[in-house]
Amino acid sequence: MTIEKDYIQYTQYKRVIDHLEVRVLDVNSEFLGVPTEMLMENAGQAVAEAVRDLMGEGLRIAIACGTGNNGGDGFVAARYLRERNEVKVVLVRPPENIKTELARRNFEKIRDLAMMEDAVELADFDVIIDGIFGTGIRGRIEQPWRSVIERINSSERRIVSIDIPSGLGADLQVKPELTVTLHDLKTGMNERNSGKIIVKGIGIPEDAERYVGPGEFAYYPIPRKESHKGENGRLLIVGGGPYAGAPALAGLAAYRIGVDLVHIATSRLSYCATASFSPNLIVHRLSDEVLVEGDFDTLRDLTNRVDAVLIGPGLGSDPSTTRAIRSYISDCRKPIVIDADAIGAISADLSVLENKRGVITPHVAELKELTGVAVPADLESRREIVRDLAARTGMTILLKGRIDVISDGTRVKMNRTGNEGMSVGGTGDVLAGSAAGLLSKGVTPFDAARIAAFATGYAGDLAFAERSFGLLATDVIEKIPAVLKEFLDKFI
């Protein structure tokens, strides 16, 4: 593949990203103080520079623009290219169909260059720039887009695509000579379908990729208006025994992250206390004072009724419980979060994780139990230990700490939300319940872990602003909906 690594900010090619990760980076950049407006400005300028450097000046250029931010990049490119070229902006749909406020503002700056597509003869131009679609297009390309792409491909002109060739991944795509891709290669791009590829940095901060942020909510499944009870997550929590509050806290956190139904299977000893926390929790009494293997028939029946499982909060370390935890995890076929006492139970026999999908949520001492390695204080060493454990087990690891480290064995992200007030008991149960709740909603383990880490920490920061060092785990739970309200609007 012919790739020119021509970064504005970075000097090393990194990885391929998909369309949702593009959205993650945009939102995280804005959260870090780099507005999307600046990213669009840099994108358009980068495209203009690439055309100038590779194709010269004094050209007749048509820029075909869609109604989204890819079209917005094209509007910005037109502003730069018009200085030394003859430029027309070719609209596929009328200006009132432009979808985003940012793209509309950039259109107004070049309105005098705009013409409707059906009034333009593309063969009259030297270069056609494709700014029709961004990432994420699938299936069949419909009209009027289809005929425009066909016209571009049959024009016999030099074609340049912005970010990706429009329609890549669908049944019809633009076939460019050159693609100026922004920040990183996108999923599916190669020399055959994208021509020569130039990667251009556009000012996305390194921390937007390195740390989780509100952009991770791109992976949050927004419920359908027609959805009914149970469609948005059914979770089973296996917990409680010596400690009754832990599974209840996890269950309430799962509800606050958006789960429809939470079942808790708990011991005879903790049943009444756990059930008394909230009428929202569906609590099932097991046979003994602690979890034992004799409860497996009940647990299998409950497991078959849910979408994901959380095991560990409040179970204790009785030897019979430890054996039961290992046997249950080995038998479980649902996505699973392993937390608290369940981590200690599996540390002596990681083979129970074979063919499992899910998240393990250790703190530093528990990570040492799992790996047999002392965990150093420096962040880079922790990243490598977490990545290695995730790769060996096939599970996503969410290492809790002042800065959380999250890895699926390939990708690594960190979380720096949260505060010292969250050392109070129960906040780990809140995190585990949030992650498990997201798993039950169909979110992949890595994405569930990174959303949960950010959301729980941010909720803790909101609670700390009100409660200072007197915050409780329940205060964190009650702030989770405020986090959803603040950030999910960007994705609805």
Stretch 63-73: mean pLDDT: 96
Extents of the domains making up the chain: 3-210, 223-491
Could you read off the pLDDT of 344-365 as tens digits, one per residue? 999 999 999 999 999 999 999 9
Stretch 385-396: mean pLDDT: 98
pLDDT value of position 7: 35
Specify the pTM: 0.92
The per-residue pLDDT of the chain, averaged, comes to 94
* Alpha carbon distance 218, 489 (integer Å): 10
DSSP 170: B
H or E, element range at 466: helix 445-467
pLDDT value of position 490: 84
Could you read off the pLDDT of 143-176 as tens digits, one per residue? 999 999 999 999 999 999 999 999 999 999 999 9
CATH topology identical between 3-210 and 223-491 = no
Could you read off the pLDDT of 97-143 as tens digits, one per residue? 999 999 999 999 999 999 998 889 999 999 999 999 987 788 899 99
Q: Which residues pair with 337 in a beta bridge?
A: 310, 359
CATH superfamily of 223-491: Ribokinase (3.40.1190.20)
Q: Is the pLDDT of residue 377 over 60?
A: yes
Stretch 292-297: mean pLDDT: 94
Could you read off the pLDDT of 210-268 as tens digits, one per residue? 999 999 999 999 999 999 999 999 999 999 999 999 999 999 999 999 999 999 999 99
Given 3-state DSSP classes, what are the helix, strand and coil percentages for the chain, each rounded to the nearest 5? 45, 15, 35
Could you read off the pLDDT of 327-341 as tens digits, one per residue? 999 999 999 999 999
Q: For residue 16, name the pLDDT band (cuts at 50, 70, 90).
A: low
Architecture in CATH for domain 3-210: 3-Layer(aba) Sandwich (3.40)
List phi, psi (to 5°) of 410: -120, -55
Stretch 64-80: mean pLDDT: 96
pLDDT value of position 173: 96
Could you read off the pLDDT of 412-425 as tens digits, one per residue? 999 999 999 999 99
Q: Is the pLDDT of residue 11 over 60?
A: no
Q: Of 317, 311, 330, 252, nearest to 290 (Cα)?
A: 317
